[in-house]
């Protein structure tokens, strides 16, 4: 009975986090346009889910983020991914969805690995949550450099920023935006995830005794 209640609670948490992602996107808080990129705060619910519910939940939440991003590519709401969609819809799908699935999975695995060394749970929540925006940037920009770097659109940005190589292109393009995403999503995600985890643990403790 206890396991059934725990599973129901986890499904409810997951559904709530998916709903938060969708609402954030609808009200314009999910992805805020900053130059050719969009500053994404959708990694916040992904970080919370990956840390509190596990890698598979993180991957599912990442997939929701990816589908939102791919929809923007198809409709032209995102100038960058819209340009990539015109080049290759398949590669753009892998960029938008595949990399976000991988991001959510890796965020959950990172936290799970760190938790083994952080028995008291004092820092693993924060570092694990930072993994979401960090992996998102690394995987997304890495895929762009692998498959779209020589496209006319990217080369135009390379020339604009004066990037000498793909690594400098990523640094110059992401810049402060990546730092803001990491700080906001990482810190807030860590605080909320720890609070949720402790609340759920405390709630379930009497039933297990």
Question: Could you report the per-residue pLDDT of 143-196, keeping only the tens digit for each?
Answer: 999 999 999 999 999 998 888 899 899 888 887 677 777 887 778 888 888 888
Dihedral (CA of 75, 148, 165, 131) sign:
positive
- Domain contains 209: no
Inform me whether the pLDDT recorded for 1 exceeds 50: no
Domain count, the chain: 1
Inform me whether the pLDDT recorded for 48 exceeds 60: yes
- Domain contains 176: yes
- Domain contains 206: no
48 vs 184 pLDDT, higher one? 48
- Domain contains 207: no
- Domain contains 205: no
Taking the whole predicted model, whether its pTM rises above 0.75 is answered as yes
What domain range includes position 99?
A: 2-200
- Domain contains 102: yes
CATH number at residue 123: 1.10.1760.20
- Domain contains 18: yes
- What number is the average pLDDT over the span 118-123? 85
pLDDT band at 99 (very low <50, low <70, confident <90, very high): very high
Mind spelling out the 3-state secondary structure of 112-133? HHHHCCCCCCCCHHHHHHHHHH
Inform me whether the pLDDT recorded for 130 exceeds 60: yes
The per-residue pLDDT for 34 is 59
- What number is the average pLDDT over the span 92-103? 97
Question: Could you report the per-residue pLDDT of 12-29, keeping only the tens digit for each?
Answer: 999 999 999 999 888 877
Residue % of the chain over a pLDDT of 70: 89
């Amino acid at each position: 009975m206890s396991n059934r209640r725990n599973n129901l609670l986890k499904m409810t948490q997951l559904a709530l986090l998916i709903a938060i992602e969708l609402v954030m996107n609808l009200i314009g808080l999910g992805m805020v346009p900053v130059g050719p990129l969009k500053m994404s705060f959708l990694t916040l619910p992904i970080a919370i889910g990956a840390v509190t519910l596990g890698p598979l939940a993180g991957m599912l939440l990442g997939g929701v983020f990816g589908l939102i991003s791919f929809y923007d590519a198809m409709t032209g709401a995102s100038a960058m991914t819209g340009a990539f969609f015109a080049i290759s819809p398949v590669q753009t799908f892998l960029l938008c969805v595949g990399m976000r699935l991988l991001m959510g999975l890796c965020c959950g695995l990172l936290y799970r690995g760190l938790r083994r060394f952080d028995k008291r749970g004092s820092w693993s929540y924060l570092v694990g949550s930072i993994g979401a925006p960090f992996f998102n940037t690394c995987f997304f920009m890495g895929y762009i450099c692998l498959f779209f770097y020589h496209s006319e659109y990217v080369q135009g940005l390379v020339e604009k920023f004066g990037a000498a190589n793909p690594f400098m292109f990523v640094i110059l393009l992401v810049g402060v935006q990546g730092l803001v995403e990491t700080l906001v999503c990482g810190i807030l995600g860590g605080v909320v995830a720890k609070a949720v985890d402790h609340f759920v643990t405390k709630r379930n403790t009497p039933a297990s005794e």
